[in-house]
A and B are shown apart, each in its own frame.
Chain A
Amino acid sequence: MHEMGIANSILHAVKTEAARYPGCQPQKIGVRIGELAAVDPDALQFCFDVLKQEAGFNDLELEVEFRRRRHHCDLCNDEFDVKDYDLHCPKCRQPTSLCVSGDELELAYLEVEEHEPSSA
């Protein structure tokens, strides 16, 4: 439901970042979304495609890297993907509480078209 606002924030960040590369056209923005971030990647893609036209970034592509929830087991000193809310370590079966990833809502990278060498 708030994916429109999220898409808007992403485009705002692209605009700010792109201003640092005068003459370059931003081509792709990479974002990381965790399963606990309450953001639906498909809805975000839809909103992004609508808003990017208005922002004048018609060719800008959105790449979403979806992150599963991962927990850390102190006993095994290892990480595992949490499936079906089972927070027990798959190796030692002890319950874990340290969540190391899965709530990301992050800008990862921006790809901009490089400058053409000046002929002057």
Chain B
Amino acid sequence: MNRVALEKPVLNENNRIAAELRERFRQYGIFCVNLISSPGSGKTTLLERTLESLPRSERVAILTGDIQTENDAARLRRFGFPTKQITTGGTCHLDARMIEKHLADWNLEDLDVLFIENVGNLVCPSSYDLGEAAKIVLLSVTEGEDKPLKYPAIFFKSELLVLTKVDLLPYVPFNITAAEENARRVHPGMEIVRVSSTTGDGLREWMNWIARRRVRQPTLVT
């Protein structure tokens, strides 16, 4: 028997495409974020509020993933920014090839920010690099505050935790301090913002985080 050392990622092919995408984003100065959460945590609604608050002159685009339907793209397209639905047809996450394919007919020179809304799932999307500058995880207060402990991978790999639906805190037994502590047990120093897309509370902090983080993105002037 002959043993050959491989020493490479299982998702080597995905990682290769993701690295190419990351390089293209860097060349064109595009800040790309990958939004991940359980289904129903408020990814699309947060994006609606975000797009609503942006001047139409902002060069923002959205790729939104779901297993079926064009519903989310229809909701997001209303704000006038380039938006595409990625329908995975059963796959529980987006992968780098899907991003590459759906970017193909967009002129990247026209973009500064790309929001990718992943398929609602706290597990599988954590394994697939999409070439993003940062992963962002959302957790709504109608879920359990121990979710970071139950699904550590995505909380470990995300730069920012957005706690959503905080307007519901008076009505649900959700200990927000415990949720934040749990997130930081998995990911020490994790950045956290508390948001209500309904009342608008925290949206300024969310937008400020994006603006601050975007500046840190290295760009190449061509």
Contacting pair B188 A110 (CB below 8 A): no
Contacting pair B127 A6 (CB below 8 A): yes
Contacting pair A85 B186 (CB below 8 A): yes
B57 on the A face (CB < 8 A)? no
- Number of A interface residues in the complex (CB < 8 A): 36
B126-140 interface bits toward A, Cβ cutoff 8 Å, 1 = contact, 0 = none: 110000000000000
Contacting pair A2 B1 (CB below 8 A): no
Within 8 A of A (CB), among B3-23: 3-14
A7-40 interface bits toward B, Cβ cutoff 8 Å, 1 = contact, 0 = none: 0011011000100010010010011000111110
Report how far A108 CA is from B124 CA in the complex, Å: 22
Closest to A34 in B: B153
Contacting pair A112 B127 (CB below 8 A): no
A79 on the B face (CB < 8 A)? no
A114 on the B face (CB < 8 A)? yes
Report how far A87 CA is from B184 CA in the complex, Å: 10
CB neighbours (8 Å) of A35 from chain B are 152
Closest to A38 in B: B153
Least CB distance from B123 to A in Å reads: 5
Q: How big is the B interface, by class?
A: 20 to 34
Within 8 A of A (CB), among B107-162: 121, 123-124, 126-127, 149, 151-154, 156-157
Contacting pair A103 B188 (CB below 8 A): no
Contacting pair A36 B6 (CB below 8 A): no
Contacting pair A97 B189 (CB below 8 A): yes
Closest to B128 in A: A2
Closest to A44 in B: B10
A95 on the B face (CB < 8 A)? yes
CB neighbours (8 Å) of B8 from chain A are 13, 106-107
Report how far A39 CA is from B95 CA in the complex, Å: 16
Contacting pair A38 B7 (CB below 8 A): no
B72-105 interface bits toward A, Cβ cutoff 8 Å, 1 = contact, 0 = none: 0000000000000000000111010000000000
Contacting pair B188 A107 (CB below 8 A): no
* Contact for A105 among B3, B10, B91, CB less than 8 A: B10
Q: List 23 A-B contacts (CB under 8 A).
A: A1-B121, A1-B123, A1-B124, A2-B92, A2-B123, A2-B127, A10-B10, A30-B6, A37-B153, A38-B123, A38-B151, A38-B154, A85-B185, A87-B188, A97-B188, A99-B156, A103-B153, A106-B10, A107-B6, A107-B10, A109-B3, A109-B5, A111-B1
Interface of B toward A, CB cutoff 8 Å: 1-14, 91-93, 95, 121, 123-124, 126-127, 149, 151-154, 156-157, 185-186, 188-189
Closest 3 CB pairs of A and B: A2-B124, A38-B153, A107-B6
